[in-house]
Amino acid sequence: MSALSLLPARRSVPGVFVALTLTLTIGWLVVLLDGGQLFNQSTTVSLLHVAAGLGLVAVGQTLVILGGSLDLSVAYVISLSTLVAAETMNGSDGAVLPAIGLVLVVSAGVGLLNGLLVTRFRVNAFIATLGVGLLLKGYLDNGYDGPAGTTAPSLVQALGYQRVGPVPVSFLLLIAVTAAAWFALSRTRFGHHLVAVGGDPEVARLSGVRNDRVLVTAHVLCSMCAGLAGIYLASRLGSGAPRVGTEGLYDLESIAAVVIGGTALAGGRGGVIGTVGGVLLLASIDAIFNQLEVDAFFKQVIRGVIIIAAVAVYARRAMRKAA
Amino acid sequence: MSDPPPTPLLTLRGIGKSFLGVRVLDGVDLDVAPGEVHAVVGENGAGKSTLMKIVSGGYAPDGGTVEFAGATRTFRGPRDAQRAGIGIIHQEFNLLPERTVAENVYLGHEPVRRGLVDRRGMLDRTTRLLASIGETTLPADARVGQLGVAQQQVVEIAKALALDARLLIMDEPTAALADHEVELLYGLVRRLQERGIGLLYVSHRLAEVFDLSGRITVLKDGRRVTTVDTADTTADQLVRHMVGRELSSYYPDRAAPEDRGPVRLNLRDAGNRKLRDVNLQLRAGEVLGIGGLQGSGRSALARAIFGVSPFTTGDVTLDDRPVRLRSPRTAMRAGIAYVTEDRKGEGIVPRQSVLDNALLASRAVFAARSGRAARTARVRELLAAVEIRGAGDDQEIRFLSGGNQQKVVLARWLALNPRILLFDEPTRGIDVGAKSAIHDLVRRLARDGAAVLMISSDLPELLGMSDRIVVMRDGHVAGELPAGATEEEVVALAVGAVREPVQ
């Protein structure tokens, strides 16, 4: 049959890894010509640190976007989480576990709120999560002018700076979270249902999927990922920082990483592996430009061009598939 | 599975349904035995879809009973009916193109082992399921979006069978299939029959109804006309059952021969994805009716002429000059207007005022040409001329009745002084009074020298208004009929019950 011969055996490597390899090769050459070295210990480590923070958020963001939703509140959840973590620990190593637990509970609560607004109250995800984010912003702006609390030294040591070779522990945490998310998407009913809800809510509903429950779960997981990112940042900074999430542009950058990683913004197609590729790509560009000491504004321009180019490439590919 | 009971699988008694006071089904009886293919035929709007939705749990009936597998059932929704064993294959597939065959088939009830989705088991079970209906070449791990339409249909059927469906509803299953794929479907239907599955087969195409079904139920205007054994009937008899309504309403006089002007629009072998080899001439001063079933290419024709999805092959001439109508904008500049079928979705901007809606086209296309004040004044005149009742020009259009909304849409196009008007179901969902007002307007436009092409599913309207009727089937012209043709002739051409006249 004619349609069968068109079938590839397996899905190919996401295009983002091709782009990543290209970027690193070109970056390495350019930095070399400039008289520097891209892959020395300190740049590699800092690249992976940047990737770890953004990656934790982006993996969570992937889940909600796959389900056809979106989370704009992650940046504020991160800021809040750094404060909850640092203030609960208050410099005491004994309070690390309770602090982590509390952060996860608080962030899960925010995710639950997001999820319920999107499903029960049918508020558009963009508006609902933006509103929740502003709510958190109000609380943070009102209560904090600057850093507060102290992260326990043991956590700073372990999560903030500990390395295995050139790989920071935080990046290993990202790998673990990514693996868990990948496993959930491919091997659990929740994962299958989430992708179905994002692909076509009506088809999912008619097939017996409880759309609302699936989407709320995704939002809770997304916020918890942002909470983890907050814990990591608190251990990096040594204290809680009320504006670290927004200053790091974690909301928009996480969405950008997801999209660069090949997940459809409308949901239903993509995965966390691609997202990690997108995160690494953004972090690499950062590292290369830092090495070249490129003007910060120009750096932003380049990032913008890359994001647009990535989406355009995917759109073209989708169009060709449809034709 | 146990032996099928000797009693009917499905029995419908006295099913009735109304929407907003309009009776769409009235006292319909029907039964399906295990292993039987029961065809349901009727014109557009005869109530077939509504009846199928009631059986599959999409709607609750206002009256009557649904008995399935020996028990009276009230389905709370499609899922409820699915669980009970009633599957429906829609014209539009309910599949996720990005997921694999197995993931689609078992969506919502994935097999699990130790709490995790058993992917291996899911693939195996899907492969076995596909093999049981004779499909051995379709890999269970193929992405559905990469499959052809016929194979997607197989996936849909497998999905229904994975839920142990004992009754399958097929709604126009061949509408999207190519000729050689129809043969495959025939084989599939027979295998389902052998398994003791009852089939409700809805189709416009009489040929396949005769090939497949054991019995045929004819619906007309929401009532069951008759149920016949397929072996004892002919296509002619069926067509007669499907139509045969009295032509009662009044229509304006047709064009006199001297009113018919020169050929304005000429299509030669024109085609695109949905149309092939369309040859058509539209003359000034005439109303050319376009008949045919839904999906036969009627709207595709209008949309191609208006440049929405343009012709990709063939030649188009306008007043004897070749033209390429590649966008609505070029079509409008060439003097073509299009009153769409979907008034709410494509015709009006619901939250804008009557005046803004009427000005939409002239503002968009001829912004620089004429002065604003003059344009507004002209549109106000037109709005008065089409006699919109009970509404100011500044009222939001969504508060108007369907008939008045349609008149505003008409005024919008008249503001462009179009020389060719395309009407797609101009009176659908419009009350009787406004209907005849629109009929008069259409005729007046033709008399003033415009060339009018009018698509209509309403046969009395099509016959009453048209100076000539072209009937479409499967994306091409099935035949042309003169004024004074009968409903039977139109339907026979539309469903392919007669041989096409040689052109």
User: How many residues would you count in chain B?
Assistant: 503
CA angle A240, A245, A246 (to 5 degrees): 130
In tens, the pLDDT along A170-184 reads 999 999 999 999 999
Query: The sheet that has B263-271: what strands, in order across it?
Result: B278-283, B263-271, B313-318, B321-322
Q: Which residue has the tokens 């992650």?
A: A74
**Closest residue of chain A to B116, computed from CA coordinates:** A188
CA angle B131, B135, B141 (to 5 degrees): 85
CB contacts, 8 Å: B99 with chain A = 195-196, 199
Between CA B455 and CA A79 the distance in angstroms is 61
User: Do B465 and B477 contact (CB within 8 A), yes or no?
Assistant: no
Element spanning B65, H or E: strand B63-68
Three-class secondary structure assignment of B224-266: EEEEEEHHHCCHHHHHHHHCCCCCCCCCCCCCCHHHCCCEEEE
Assess whether pLDDT exceeds 50 at residue A137.
Answer: yes
Find residues 250-279 of chain A whose CB sits inside 8 Å of chain B: 268-269
CATH number for the domain running over A39-322: 1.10.3470
* Contact at CB, B148 and A203, closer than 8 angstroms: no
Query: Could you give the maximum distance between any two Cα atoms of chain B, in Å?
Result: 82
Q: At what angle do helices A272-292 and A250-260 cross, to 10 degrees?
A: 110
Between CA A234 and CA A151 the distance in angstroms is 6
* Contact at CB, A186 and B95, closer than 8 angstroms: no
Least trusted range by pLDDT, from A67-71, A196-200, A221-225, B437-441: B437-441
Residue B58: what pLDDT? Answer: 85
DSSP 8-state secondary structure symbol assigned to residue B366: S
For chain B, say whether A9 makes contact (Cβ under 8 Å).
Answer: no
The ipTM assigned to this model is 0.86
Q: What is the DSSP string of A12-62?
A: ---HHHHHHHHHHHHHHHHHHHTT--TTSHHHHHHHHHHHHHHHHHHHHHH
How many Cα atoms are found within 13 Å in the side-chain-facing hemisphere of A245?
Answer: 33
Q: What are the percentages of helix, strand and coil residues in chain B, rounded to 5?
A: 35, 25, 40
| Alpha-carbon dihedral sign for residues B80, B86, B89, B90 | negative
Residue B502: what pLDDT? Answer: 43
**Which SS3 state, helix, strand or coil, does residue B199 take?**
strand
Find residues 191-210 of chain A whose CB sits inside 8 Å of chain B: 191-193, 195-196, 199-200, 202-209
Residue B391: what pLDDT? Answer: 67
**Closest residue of chain B to A184, computed from CA coordinates:** B116
Between CA B207 and CA B498 the distance in angstroms is 10
| Alpha-carbon dihedral sign for residues B186, B192, B196, B198 | negative
* Contact at CB, B110 and A189, closer than 8 angstroms: yes
CB contacts, 8 Å: A4 with chain B = 137-139, 142
Distance from CA of A204 to the nearest CA of B (A): 7
User: Do B130 and B138 contact (CB within 8 A), yes or no?
Assistant: yes
Residue B149: what pLDDT? Answer: 84
**DSSP-H helix ranges across B334-422:** 354-365, 372-385, 402-414
CA B317 to chain centroid, in Å, comes to 29
The shortest CB-CB distance from A203 to any of B94, B146, B151 is to B94
Q: Which residue has the tokens 């479907």?
A: B185
B79: region left, alpha or beta (phi > 0 left; psi from -120 to 50 alpha): alpha
How many Cα atoms are found within 13 Å in the side-chain-facing hemisphere of A222?
Answer: 36
**Which SS3 state, helix, strand or coil, does residue B8 take?**
coil
Please give chain B's pLDDT, 503 residues, in tens. 444 445 789 999 999 998 766 778 999 999 999 999 999 998 766 888 889 999 998 888 999 999 998 889 988 888 889 889 999 988 778 899 999 999 999 998 899 998 899 999 999 999 999 998 888 889 999 999 888 888 899 999 999 999 889 999 998 888 777 777 888 889 889 999 999 999 999 987 788 899 999 999 999 888 899 999 999 998 888 888 887 554 445 788 888 888 888 999 999 999 998 899 999 999 999 999 999 888 889 999 999 999 999 999 999 999 999 999 999 999 999 999 999 988 888 888 888 888 889 888 888 877 655 577 778 888 888 888 887 766 678 888 888 877 888 889 999 998 888 999 999 998 887 766 677 888 988 999 999 899 999 999 888 889 989 999 999 998 999 999 998 888 889 988 988 876 544 44
User: Do B167 and B157 contact (CB within 8 A), yes or no?
Assistant: no
Find which of A2, A6, A192 to mutate to test the B interface (most B CBs within 10 Å of its CB): A192
Which residue ranges form the domains of chain B, and what is each CATH number?
Answer: 10-242 (3.40.50.300), 248-335+418-503 (3.40.50.300), 354-416 (no CATH)
* Contact at CB, B96 and A209, closer than 8 angstroms: no
Q: Which residue has the tokens 């962030």?
A: A107
Q: How many CB pairs under 8 A join A and B?
A: 76
User: Do A212 and A193 contact (CB within 8 A), yes or no?
Assistant: no
User: Do A275 and A257 contact (CB within 8 A), yes or no?
Assistant: yes
Find which of B79, B98, B169, B184 to mutate to test the A interface (most A CBs within 10 Å of its CB): B98
Assess whether pLDDT exceeds 80 at residue A288.
Answer: yes
* Contact at CB, A208 and B146, closer than 8 angstroms: no
Residue B1: what pLDDT? Answer: 40
User: Do A291 and A36 contact (CB within 8 A), yes or no?
Assistant: yes
- Listed in sequence order, the residues at least 6 apart from B238 whose beta carbon sits closer than 8 Å to its beta carbon are B41, B206, B209, B216, B218, B497
Q: Can you name the residues that pair with B73 across neighbouring β-strands?
A: B66
Going by their DSSP bridges, the two strands B71-73 and B63-68 should be labelled as antiparallel
Distance from CA of A209 to the nearest CA of B (A): 5
Q: What is the DSSP string of A103-116?
A: HHHHHHHHHHHHHH
Q: Could you state, in order of their start, the residue ranges of all structural domains in chain A?
A: 39-322
Rg from Cα positions in chain A: 20
For chain A, say whether B79 makes contact (Cβ under 8 Å).
Answer: yes
DSSP 8-state secondary structure symbol assigned to residue B343: I
How many Cα atoms are found within 13 Å in the side-chain-facing hemisphere of A254?
Answer: 33
Residue B498: what pLDDT? Answer: 63
CB contacts, 8 Å: B78 with chain A = 206
For chain A, say whether B90 makes contact (Cβ under 8 Å).
Answer: no
| Closest to A309 (Cα-Cα) out of A289, A290, A288, A281 | A281
* Contact at CB, A4 and B139, closer than 8 angstroms: yes
Summary mean pLDDT of chain A: 90
**DSSP-H helix ranges across A120-263:** 125-143, 153-155, 169-187, 189-199, 201-206, 211-237, 244-247, 250-260
Going by their DSSP bridges, the two strands B223-229 and B278-283 should be labelled as unpaired
* Contact at CB, B94 and A208, closer than 8 angstroms: no
Residue B21: what pLDDT? Answer: 67
How many Cα atoms are found within 13 Å in the side-chain-facing hemisphere of B202?
Answer: 23
Residue A321: what pLDDT? Answer: 58
Between CA B336 and CA B352 the distance in angstroms is 24
Q: Which residue has the tokens 């109530």?
A: B47
Residue A49: what pLDDT? Answer: 94
Between CA B162 and CA B140 the distance in angstroms is 13
Residue A8: what pLDDT? Answer: 38
| Closest to B446 (Cα-Cα) out of B279, B335, B288 | B288
The shortest CB-CB distance from A209 to any of B108, B145, B147 is to B108
- Between the alpha carbon of residue A122 and those of residues A119, A128, A212, A214, the distances in Å are 5, 9, 10, 15
Distance from CA of A259 to the nearest CA of B (A): 16
pTM of the model: 0.76
The token duo for B118 is: 């058993």
CB contacts, 8 Å: A193 with chain B = 107-108
